Amino acid sequence: MGFLSRRAHLRRASRGASTVIGAIFYVVIALFITTNIFMWSISKHSEYDMAVVEMNQRDAEKVDEQIRAVGNFTVFPSNSSVRAVANITCYGPSAQLTTMWVVDSTKGTYAYKSGVLCNLRSGDSKTITVSATFKRAIGSGDDYEIWFVTGRGNTVDLESPIVPVARLAEEATFSTMTYALGDIVVEHGSLEWSTNGVVWHSSYEKVTGNAQVRWRVTATNHGPQYIDVTTDSVLIGLGGTGGAAAKSAVWSVSTTYRLDVDVSRSIEFATASTPNYIGTYTVIITLVGSRADGSSYGQSVPFELFIVE
């Protein structure tokens, strides 16, 4: 009996030890999973913080840019091109001109030339000659607007004696920032991208290179009459580190959007491929269309940025 009693006692003790070991094993697994989730969350939060810091730094650098462009242009109706000759002076920190935009206000069409147009150090003054070709016929008697875009996303008007600096916006406050160079105001923080049109991501979130994405922003018309934004409007990403020349990608507005007075609505740009170069891209939005009275409308909005990984 004594031997059988000891065996029964050992069996009960074994069952108790198994329970304790199982509980410890469960706690170790739970602790491992929890720790990994916590570290993953910390990593993603750090990436987001770094992106926000970079955005804030670039916004500050935009404000510091001071560039003046003085010159003239020649229209060539035979090949639908416009050639601008401009003296560019940099009063602020080093800068780079990456795009020239030309808008034919009479016909409501536009052309642009992208690339590294000019590198400027503080105090530099350089003369550049840039040509842009339209996809449609233009006339020598048409009205034209010409401006340059810097690598930081500011715009610099050609022949601008009144405001001799690269301008961010005519309306800008840094607590609830908006961007405008005309009647239409684009809300800061509203730039989003999507691969399927259902799930949307902030422009702070990195996008994969050579991916098919679409964009949208929230815009408000503060003009005296409604404005139809047409498919000639584009969103352009400029920048990247893939080589010496500036890399770019263009998205066109997917359909015509009517912006009624003081009514905010989303404007979506049709799906296109992102650049296949890793880096940070400055976003420029050019809105083209017509007003209720039939007159042509156009404006350029220096906006935010996105990051290709």
Q: Are residues 4 and 73 in the same domain?
A: no
Q: Are residues 142 and 218 in the same domain?
A: no
Single pTM value for the model: 0.47
Q: Are residues 134 and 186 in the same domain?
A: no
Q: Are residues 198 and 307 in the same domain?
A: yes
CB atoms within 10 A of CB 211: 15
Residue 157 in this model has a pLDDT that exceeds 70: yes
Tell me the per-residue pLDDT of 186-238, one tens digit each, with 9 for 90 and over.
887 788 889 888 899 888 788 888 889 999 998 888 888 999 999 888 888 87
What is the number of structural domains in the chain? 3
φ/ψ of residue 12, rounded to 5: -65, -40
Q: Are residues 191 and 288 in the same domain?
A: yes
Rounded to an integer, the average pLDDT of 120-139 is: 88
Q: Are residues 6 and 53 in the same domain?
A: yes
Q: Give the per-residue pLDDT at 4.
A: 55
Q: Print burial letters for 134-156: b (CB count within 10 Å at least 16), e (below 16).
A: beeebeeeeebebbbbbbbbbbb
Q: Are residues 50 and 116 in the same domain?
A: no
Picking from 144, 167, 190, the residue at the C-terminal end of a domain is 167
Picking from 42, 64, 86, the residue at the C-terminal end of a domain is 64
Q: Are residues 205 and 303 in the same domain?
A: yes
Count CA within 13 A, CB hemisphere, residue 65.
27
Tell me the per-residue pLDDT of 20-72, one tens digit each, with 9 for 90 and over.
677 777 777 878 788 888 788 777 777 777 777 777 777 777 778 888 888 88
Q: Are residues 230 and 157 in the same domain?
A: no
| 3-class DSSP assignment, residue 58 | helix
In DSSP terms, 284 is beta-bridged to 236, 302
- Supply the range of the domain harboring residue 44: 1-64
- The domain that contains 134 carries what CATH number? 2.60.40.770
| 3-class DSSP assignment, residue 191 | coil
